Amino acid sequence: MLNEEINRSLTPQELDFTHAHIMARYVTETGKILPRKVTRLSSKQQRKINRAIKRARNMLMMQ
């Protein structure tokens, strides 16, 4: 299953906190979460990304 996820692009709804390498595109170099204006995501997608990033930080999967 992991190989399938690497080969195709995941949408924000399909991401969870274990995909830290993909979520890195929604975070600046200093670790701030990018706003909706920059990411061009819907509000629902942005909330999902925010929750996933915060969970990944909490689980120390993403610094």
Positive or negative: CA dihedral 45, 56, 19, 36? positive
Q: What is the pLDDT of residue 26?
A: 92
Structure tokens at 6: 């690497």
Ordered by where they begin, the domains of the chain are: 8-58 (4.10.640.10)
Extract the residue ranges of the chain whose pLDDT is less than 70.
1-9, 63
State the Cα–Cα distance between residues 59 and 61, nearest whole angstrom.
5
Q: What is the pLDDT of residue 6?
A: 52
pTM: 0.77
State the Cα–Cα distance between residues 54 and 60, nearest whole angstrom.
10
Q: What is the pLDDT of residue 9?
A: 66
Structure tokens at 17: 């906190």
